[in-house]
Amino acid sequence: MDKLLITGGNALHGAVRASGAKNAALPILAATLLADGPVTLTNVPRLRDITTTLDLLGRMGARLIQDAGDRISVEPRALTSCVAPYELVKTMRASILVLGPLVARYGQADVSLPGGCAIGARPVNLHIDGLRAMGAEVTVEGGYIRARAERLQGARLVMEMVSVTGTENLMMAATLAQGETLIENAAREPEVVDLAEFLKAMGARIEGAGTDQIHIRGVERLGGADYRVMPDRIETGTFLVGAAMTGGRVRVTETRPDCLDAVLQKLRDAGARIEIGPDWIELDMQGRRPRAVDIHTAPHPAFPTDMQAQFCALNAIAEGVGVVAETIFENRFMHVPELQRMGADIRVEGSLAVCHGVAGLTAAPVMATDLRASAGLVLAGLVASGETLIDRIYHLDRGYETMEAKLLTLGANIQRIAGEGRIPSP
Ligand code: EPZ
């Protein structure tokens, strides 16, 4: 397994481009199953989770061509299988996103139950309940969700909890249903809006994406489309936190400043000077130590849970005490014990992490446990004195495109060590 070796102490300076958003590209790739015309996607990030999704769609018979850059062409053709097998779904729970499109387009889907993951149980009851409300016969047996429907019927769906992929699955299913669907208590994340824009480019009739009420009028077919995936707001936020923690000055380009209000406000509260352009955000910490901030994660437009680990790392070295409340997932503080190994003074009490900022962290061998926890550990390594070795960074590779290369351009002292201990050739 690859590792990252980081020698802390360098302030980050310079500009870095945001890649396409993983959490928009994944549902959009699943949505290509609905198309009966050619689809071309650009700004698709080169990530492990994208590769897994391409494998999954390819296994079902879809024909996808990924070029050497950020473009993926999909040639729609009748699938040879509507099964999402366990061995793929267990590596990426977002595979559940093929459920809605398969039932809507092919009337059937056998999708392995994703099971839990490091950050929580992550049930999919809302996805299943919504499809049942739209007339699908859904059974769960042998670890698989088996869904069948002549044709889905539009329905009024009131989501018991705000669920991002639950909203996305049901919105995709509703595009080809008979009649109208109203999703209430819908997720408002920008990635839900990006998916809706792609579906509309294919001919879907959707209103209200980005609000908590999404109205979909079913159509008979969806054609092809060319679409550019939105930039990754969590990657953007991660680099900005790195600049704040190291006292540097970083501009993230080709990003969406309008998707990060809650995060930018917390960075301002931490003492950062932030400038915003049409497609860029610049953070200047002017060499200062950040102030601790209180964080309360919640559905968009509130503070995103996917930025929580990064702010635990910031609070670890900030001035003062910051209380981090994680309200979305029940086990999303796995980065804390690793940060404690580096000298952080953080105490977890249920869904709260109380962070007493220390003047500095000390490098230590640490282990990544999940995608965003690994990002938090990288940020901590950037400021720790000495060499931090982060193991199991395949977690990081799931959601960050060439993170170490981008950090190198910003002046970080970081290198990837290939699994067998060799330093890979550049
Ligand atoms: C999406 O996961 C993101 N993944 C996650 O990003 C993100 O953390 C999460 O939304 C919250 O913003 C993708 O978009 C691929 P949820 P999702 O359904 O959709 C409960 C990352 O790091 N729930 O919004 O799986 C659930 O347990 C990943 O990029 C049910 O109880 O999250 C959680 O407590 C991690 N039943 C809450 O709702 C359901 O049927 C929100 O989960 C569905 C969800």
Determine the atom of ligand 1 nearest the C-alpha atom of 234.
29
Position 421 scores a pLDDT of 52
Name all residues whose Cβ lies below 6 A of ligand 1.
Answer: 22-23, 26, 94, 120, 122-127, 161, 163-166, 305-306, 328-329, 371-372, 399
Over residues 155-191, the pLDDT tens digits come to: 999 999 999 999 999 999 999 999 999 999 999 999 9
Q: What span, in angstroms and rounded, lies between the C-alpha atoms of 226 and 155? A: 29
> Which candidate, 261, 265, 270, 262, places its Cα nearest to that of 243?
270
Which are the contacts of 392, defined by CB distance < 8 A and separation ≥ 6?
Answer: 1, 367, 368, 369, 374
Q: Which of 47, 328, 397, 403 to mutate to test the pocket of ligand 1 (most atoms within 8 A of CB)?
A: 328
pTM above 0.95, yes or no: yes
Ligand 1 centroid vs 179 CA: distance in angstroms?
28
Angle (CA) 236 241 247, round 5°: 130
Q: What span, in angstroms and rounded, lies between the C-alpha atoms of 64 and 230? A: 20
User: Which residues of the chain register pLDDT less than 70?
Assistant: 420-426
Q: What span, in angstroms and rounded, lies between the C-alpha atoms of 384 and 365? A: 12
Ligand 1 centroid vs 343 CA: distance in angstroms?
31
Here the contacts of 336-343 (C-beta below 8 Å, separation 24 or greater) are: 336/312, 338/366, 338/367, 338/368, 338/369, 338/373, 338/377, 339/312, 339/313, 339/376, 339/377, 339/380, 341/366, 342/316, 342/366, 342/380, 342/384, 342/388, 343/384
Position 420 scores a pLDDT of 66
Determine the atom of ligand 1 nearest the C-alpha atom of 121.
27
Over residues 46-79, the pLDDT tens digits come to: 999 999 999 999 999 999 999 999 999 998 877 8
Percent of the chain with pLDDT over 70: 98
**117 catalytically annotated:** yes
